[in-house]
Structure 1
Amino acid sequence: MNRKFFQQQSGFIASYILYGIGLLAIVGAAYARLSTNTQQGQSVQDTVNEVAVQLEVIKGKIMLCAAVYPDGDHAQFDTRHAYPAPATAGNIAVISAVACPTPNGPLSLALMPDGIPLPVSPPDFEEWVYEHTEAGGIRLRLIPRLSGGAAATRERLLRQYDGSIIANGDEIVFAVLN
């Protein structure tokens, strides 16, 4: 009788051990999923922070251009002559093709006397795009490398810069000057 009793107890104990292992597996899977979501959220926030820093650097270069060379004239339209304009024809270009109008000729924003290089585009985005409109507005655009890409980053930026940013399809448009 003792032997049968011990067999029943050992079966009972084994079932609890298996039950405990199952619970640990479920908790482990939930923790792994939570950790992955946290890492993805941190990655998005890191990109948003990087965009914020890059935006300030580029805005600073734009304002510095007009401050250091107030008599500059990009000769493209009748507004904001001292501000940078695309070095090519038209009013939209990637930021590396934008020049500050100086009395000695166009000077790339990358070569401004602040000593700060132009930022490399944030992950998942093409190079920053600069737009100087005929009405005098200056905009910076971020375009995802893939159609519909960087949606979480775009949504977080829209919340963070509410009022000074708009979404134009997949593009994010920052108003620098109106």
Structure 2
Amino acid sequence: MDHYFDLKLLPDPEFAATQLMSALMSKLHRGLHDLRRDDVGVSFPEIESARHHLGSHLRLHGNREALAHLLTLNWLTGMRDHVQVGEVTAVPAQVRYRLVSRVQVDSNPERLRRRLIKRHGITEEEARERIPDSAGKRTKLPFVSLRSNGSGNAFPLFIRHGDILEVAQPGTFNSYGLSSTATIPWF
């Protein structure tokens, strides 16, 4: 991960930054999926100041070849009017590192009940007793709203920026640019 480029959302009177970031992440997901690479990671440099949302700045990390190849794909189609795309640039010499990962939250008690009924053959009443409405987990993590390509269902993709580390951790990234083990340069 020796290079990066920035994508900055431009202000738009018709769309909130959260909507645009969700659309951008959806397009990025398709681009990374088409590339079939596991060495491109993402971060959101404005995360501390944005608090409960990801901000309007997305940074992609990887080697020069992977990032240049990603930029040649048409994954930004429909977003070009909403995004300022930076140049592929070398990562600064003095950086620290951070894990940017997906957090899955079972926040829908109704879905958990349906799953329990299907797997264990119990009645809806028994499932409601086991999983009350108050059982849904809550999180204050920022997220993007995405739609599953397979089922078409909408879902929140919760994103956690871990602690800042002095040493990079190796690993791979998924097609959202997130990892449970690999760190990205943080600067």
Q: Is TM-score (shorter-chain normalized) higher than 0.5?
A: no
**Structure 1 length normalisation: TM-score?**
0.28
Q: Which has the higher strand share?
A: 2
Between structures 1 and 2, the one with greater helix share? 1
Q: Which has the larger radius of gyration?
A: 1
